[in-house]
Structure 1
Amino acid sequence: MINEPTELDPAGLEPIELAPALLERMAAVRAAALRTLESGYPVYGVNTGMGNLSKVRLSDAEQRVHQRNLLLGRAVGGPPWLSPEESRAVLIGRLKTFLTGDSAVSVGLIQQLVALINSGFTPAIPAEGAGSAGEIIPLAHATGPLLGIGWLLAPPIPADSASTGSTGSTGSTGSMGAGDAGHAGEAAAGSARGAGSMGASAGAGGIGGAAGAGGGMGGSTGAGAMGGALRPAAGLLPAFELGPKEGIALLAGTPGAAGRAALAVTKVRRLAERLTAVAAGAIAVVGANRDPYEPAAARGDDVLASEFALLRQLAGPEPEPRSLQAPVSFRVAGHVNAHVRRTAEQLDDAVDRAFKGVSDSPAYLDGDFVGTAGFHGIDLAAYCDHVTTALAHAAEVSTARLHRLLDPNVTGLTAQLAREPGPQAGLVAVHKRAVATTHQLRRLTLPTAISTAETSNGQEDVQTFSWEAVGNLAEAIRLTREVVACELLAVRQAFALSGRAIPPGLQDLIQAVDHVVPPIDADRPFGEDLTRLLTNVL
């Protein structure tokens, strides 16, 4: 039971139920806002046009259809679509902002939004193309299904596997073994964004590609043209009729970027754990000197001190290091991973500010409608960029360590970790995949917000592109996991070749690898092994 908007987690999968007292508060705000609107003074997007047309006053008849029209004319996006879990995070982000009362929407609209979240279906929301001061394009797609407009992604698992009205099926694809729930569909979701379809993560047990005419953007566009396994939104829920101010409320602010960023924080925290564990495995298997991780070397930095302690715990002691100094990529592992953790917490703070602050415009504040600039998501964009850069650096360091693991001078093992170097290539191509993936990551590190353009005939003359920033971060998470999988495969092979005892702190991880990856005695298609690691371990 949700009593306050702060209790809603965009990364959560549980069905949502709102407390009666919370709904009563929203009803009181709505009643007060409607009384304020009776005065007839201009309220942006309610009795006026939007953007450069805000000078146009609307007649009573025009106002009655205006709120619905706001969504119709702004749903200009197309594939690639967000993954189901990201789409759900957008909806929960919208709900969190509604429950502050700033939007002054009706209880009926709030309940309709909850019903969509709990349905097991998620809207087809474009992952790209949000070139506006805010998120009006993706939000038009996200909230159109409340009115029976637009398209839905097929559920990620068969509908009969979930209880009626449950949302537990929308993010995880079942048991992850030793891995983290929610990552099974992530690789598929990433490829879906790139390929313009839902790939494997949306079609299973769902609608296939057979969504036909009716209920779509204009009533005649087939799902195949929209790119993937979709169904029309019409018919899932009774179509909601928007009241005054409710259309613009659905499009206002940056709830989508905030919701997706909250989901990203959860994933980066999990990824940071794996980064540390795999780095510790590399440190242990090459017999690296543990001096760089001494507690005294973390003076003045609690995050770094915690990271050093975790590395020492996982890697175990090394009484006889192979050399006085390991390569830099080993020595800096603590600093690199501490930076990833630190940036994730900074982004989490920005998400908290986004949801606690005023993002609606016009917002209903202290009994009046106030035009705000809460749509300018520079805080979210900047910190998303920050985490993306931290992950790109972590991936570069991981790739460098992987290369060193192939070097007999560093490991004392066979060249390229092959059982029979020469006749066998070993893991050299695994490193090349990591190199290519890291190159992709570097291209994501261009600051997103430093690229403004005029729209709406100059009325909207700057943007932050926070939607794109969080999209870059989602892709950075996916790519960094690929690099970590490459290093993990090499770490496991190095342990197998060395005969070294696996430190107690790493035994669960290595056992999880052994459960899905057979011993490497000869060359084989290692891409299959990496996919198993990504699906079941990382």
Structure 2
Amino acid sequence: MLVREPGDLDPALVEPIELAPELLERLAAVRRTALARLESGEPVYGVNTGMGKLSKVRLTAAEQRRHQANLLRGRAVGGPPWLPADEARAVLIGRLRTFLTGDAAVSVELIHRLVALINSGAVPEIPAEGAGSAGEIIPLAHAMAPLLDPTPSGLPRFELGSKEGIALLAGIPGATGRSGLAVAKVRRLADRMTAVAAGAIAVVAANRDPYQPSAGRGDDVLAAELARILELAGPESAPRSLQAPVSFRVAGHVLAHVRRTVEQLNDAVERAFTGVTDSPAYLDGEFIGTAGFHGLDLAAHCDHLTAALAHAAEVSTARLHRLLDPAITGLPAQLTPDPGPQAGLVAVHKRAVATTHQLRRLTLPTAISTVETSNGQEDVQSFSWEAVGILTEAIRLTRITTACELLAVHQAFTLSTRDIPPNLRPFFEAVAEAVPPIHTDRPFGQDLTTLLTILLP
């Protein structure tokens, strides 16, 4: 992909990256003026001074030459568990995108090397936990280690120039890139959750009144979600009852909230990428200490989306429970053709219950701990790195509850005389191809794993 502007880079990008010559020329010009500014000898944090509480210590020329590489090596204190490959790549892309603004004033050579690392397909071992600082110096030290030492990427060692070590550690590119990747995942998941909920609504012959778009007046996101559910579920001329259980009736509101919240996180990601998060940043010809590394905007919106997913999973689990009830569905108890000798999908519901219990424990707000580090120089943190990690776990768990409900809806259609609505037919035909017919009890965990792999990636 040819990148002409920083905004062209998406954290979910998988194809090779190429940078436009005119973009590189602009960045080279920034680097030249930044180096000239450094020659004045004025103190620039982390370049010709120590870090944190030691920022009053001025470094000699010889110390400055060693300092940039030392910054990375001395802060790589993390360990496993490591980020999965797609998240590690998103961290690298996030760092590259922030470099392309020019705020970091790094060399074109360093940018080329970072592009080469991304394009190599090799991903560094980046700790998923334990950032514990104002910013991301620990995970970024691991992420950028391949630039200093031989790695499976096959790239030679890179000699960091002035300011380039602290630039590699600055800001919140990792949390931003990972959050951008999470946005892409939740958007896909929300589409699947809508289809599953619509299937549940159709198979129990729920009254369609709650899904009329007119009921979303004043809320375009809700009106669109109600219309989406109604289009997928189709009309129902003979509903089983005047009102279906609440878990069915509120599906549009719950999923609209997920969709609204994920777009709010996306807005926060764009603010982080376009704003100033490096410190020191090279702005208008001067090196300026900033506070954009705090990352509260990202942390708060990751927390918000985690809570939205947890609620959506709880509602999905409640619908699953109702699907096992003959009074709601008119189908055999626990969705087995032979109730009593066979237990049906009751244990699938139990797994969903345990999963939602895990999700509830993730909903504690992240940015509520004021812990001092660096001898008091860093006296608060937002823990944005941890917030996106919690969101990633919430996405994983929500996929599981969605798979549990999907299996139940699929089995309910199998046992029902009702036709699958036309707009849902391709989706549930794919489910039928992936999951063998359920006539007797079996290890349903295998079916759930299949659904997660094939239909809920």
Give the TM-score, by structure 1 length. Answer: 0.84
Report 1:304-453 matches (<5 A).
304-453=222-371
What is residue 137 of structure 2 aligned with on the other side? 136
Alpha-carbon distance between aligned partners in 2 of 1:519 and 1:394, rounded to the nearest angstrom = 28
Alpha-carbon distance between aligned partners in 1 of 2:416 and 2:5, rounded to the nearest angstrom = 55
Structure with the largest fraction of helix: 2
Alpha-carbon distance between aligned partners in 1 of 2:255 and 2:230, rounded to the nearest angstrom = 14
Alpha-carbon distance between aligned partners in 1 of 2:119 and 2:314, rounded to the nearest angstrom = 40
- Aligned pairs, number: 455
Q: In structure 2, what residue type is equivalent to 1:298?
A: G
* Secondary structure of the corresponding residue to residue 122 of structure 1: coil
What is residue 198 of structure 2 aligned with on the other side? 280
* Secondary structure of the corresponding residue to residue 287 of structure 2: strand
What is residue 41 of structure 2 aligned with on the other side? 40
The C-alpha deviation readout for 1:69-112, integer Å capped at 9, x for no partner, is 00000000000010100000000000000000000000000000
Residue 362 of structure 1, CA deviation: 0.4
Alpha-carbon distance between aligned partners in 2 of 1:271 and 1:281, rounded to the nearest angstrom = 15
What is residue 58 of structure 2 aligned with on the other side? 57
Aligned residues of 2:122 and 2:153 also touching (Cα < 8 A): no
What is residue 297 of structure 1 aligned with on the other side? 215
Alpha-carbon distance between aligned partners in 1 of 2:303 and 2:159, rounded to the nearest angstrom = 39
Aligned residues of 2:92 and 2:174 also touching (Cα < 8 A): yes
What is residue 123 of structure 2 aligned with on the other side? 122
Aligned residues of 2:117 and 2:153 also touching (Cα < 8 A): no
Q: In structure 1, what residue type is equivalent to 2:414?
A: A
* Secondary structure of the corresponding residue to residue 530 of structure 1: helix
Report 1:57-206 matches (<5 A).
57-148=58-149
Aligned residues of 2:6 and 2:97 also touching (Cα < 8 A): yes
Alpha-carbon distance between aligned partners in 1 of 2:275 and 2:142, rounded to the nearest angstrom = 24
Residue 428 of structure 1, CA deviation: 0.2
What is residue 269 of structure 1 aligned with on the other side? 187
The C-alpha deviation readout for 1:390-414, integer Å capped at 9, x for no partner, is 0000000000000000001100111
Residue 505 of structure 1, CA deviation: 1.0
Alpha-carbon distance between aligned partners in 1 of 2:368 and 2:154, rounded to the nearest angstrom = 40
Residue 3 of structure 1, CA deviation: 0.6
Alpha-carbon distance between aligned partners in 1 of 2:273 and 2:112, rounded to the nearest angstrom = 19
* Secondary structure of the corresponding residue to residue 3 of structure 2: coil
Q: In structure 2, what residue type is equivalent to 1:3?
A: R
Alpha-carbon distance between aligned partners in 1 of 2:52 and 2:425, rounded to the nearest angstrom = 59
What is residue 229 of structure 1 aligned with on the other side? none
Residue 234 of structure 1, CA deviation: 6.8
The C-alpha deviation readout for 1:446-496, integer Å capped at 9, x for no partner, is 000111200000000000000000001111111100000000000000001
What is residue 426 of structure 2 aligned with on the other side? 508
The C-alpha deviation readout for 1:295-332, integer Å capped at 9, x for no partner, is 22111000000000010000010000000110000000
- Work out which of the residue numbers 403, 408, 414 in structure 2 matches 1:496: 414
Aligned residues of 2:258 and 2:308 also touching (Cα < 8 A): yes
Q: In structure 1, what residue type is equivalent to 2:89?
A: R
Aligned residues of 2:92 and 2:143 also touching (Cα < 8 A): yes
What is residue 374 of structure 2 aligned with on the other side? 456
Q: In structure 2, what residue type is equivalent to 1:127?
A: A
Alpha-carbon distance between aligned partners in 1 of 2:143 and 2:66, rounded to the nearest angstrom = 19
Residue 236 of structure 1, CA deviation: 1.8
Alpha-carbon distance between aligned partners in 2 of 1:332 and 1:405, rounded to the nearest angstrom = 16
Residues 1:91 and 1:505: Cα distance change in structure 2 (over 3 Å):
same
Q: In structure 2, what residue type is equivalent to 1:251?
A: L
* Secondary structure of the corresponding residue to residue 364 of structure 1: strand
* Secondary structure of the corresponding residue to residue 297 of structure 1: helix
Alpha-carbon distance between aligned partners in 1 of 2:77 and 2:171, rounded to the nearest angstrom = 18
Residue 294 of structure 1, CA deviation: 1.3
The C-alpha deviation readout for 1:357-408, integer Å capped at 9, x for no partner, is 0111000011110000010100000000000000000000000000000001
Aligned-residue identity in percent: 77
What is residue 243 of structure 1 aligned with on the other side? 161
* Secondary structure of the corresponding residue to residue 123 of structure 1: coil
Alpha-carbon distance between aligned partners in 1 of 2:259 and 2:426, rounded to the nearest angstrom = 22
Q: In structure 2, what residue type is equivalent to 1:413?
A: L
Alpha-carbon distance between aligned partners in 1 of 2:152 and 2:292, rounded to the nearest angstrom = 31
Residues 1:457 and 1:23: Cα distance change in structure 2 (over 3 Å):
same
Alpha-carbon distance between aligned partners in 2 of 1:302 and 1:381, rounded to the nearest angstrom = 26
The C-alpha deviation readout for 1:214-261, integer Å capped at 9, x for no partner, is x5xxxxxxxxxxxxxxxxx27721100001000000000000000000
Residue 147 of structure 1, CA deviation: 1.3
Alpha-carbon distance between aligned partners in 1 of 2:243 and 2:364, rounded to the nearest angstrom = 34
Alpha-carbon distance between aligned partners in 1 of 2:136 and 2:426, rounded to the nearest angstrom = 43
Residue 419 of structure 1, CA deviation: 1.1
Give the TM-score, by structure 2 length. Answer: 0.99
Give structure 1 stretches of 5+ with no counterpart. 149-214, 216-232
Q: Find out whether 1:260 has 2:189 as its counterpart.
A: no
Residue 290 of structure 1, CA deviation: 0.5
The C-alpha deviation readout for 1:35-91, integer Å capped at 9, x for no partner, is 000011110000001111111111111101000000000000000010100000000
Alpha-carbon distance between aligned partners in 1 of 2:340 and 2:296, rounded to the nearest angstrom = 53
Residues 1:96 and 1:327: Cα distance change in structure 2 (over 3 Å):
same
Alpha-carbon distance between aligned partners in 1 of 2:330 and 2:434, rounded to the nearest angstrom = 27
Alpha-carbon distance between aligned partners in 2 of 1:9 and 1:513, rounded to the nearest angstrom = 31
Alpha-carbon distance between aligned partners in 2 of 1:364 and 1:296, rounded to the nearest angstrom = 51
The C-alpha deviation readout for 1:501-538, integer Å capped at 9, x for no partner, is 00001101101101110000000000000000000011
Q: Find out whether 1:11 has 2:29 as its counterpart.
A: no
* Secondary structure of the corresponding residue to residue 282 of structure 2: strand
Alpha-carbon distance between aligned partners in 2 of 1:537 and 1:521, rounded to the nearest angstrom = 22
Alpha-carbon distance between aligned partners in 2 of 1:311 and 1:263, rounded to the nearest angstrom = 26
Residue 146 of structure 1, CA deviation: 1.1
Alpha-carbon distance between aligned partners in 1 of 2:153 and 2:408, rounded to the nearest angstrom = 51
Alpha-carbon distance between aligned partners in 2 of 1:510 and 1:341, rounded to the nearest angstrom = 23
Q: In structure 1, what residue type is equivalent to 2:122?
A: F
What is residue 164 of structure 1 aligned with on the other side? none
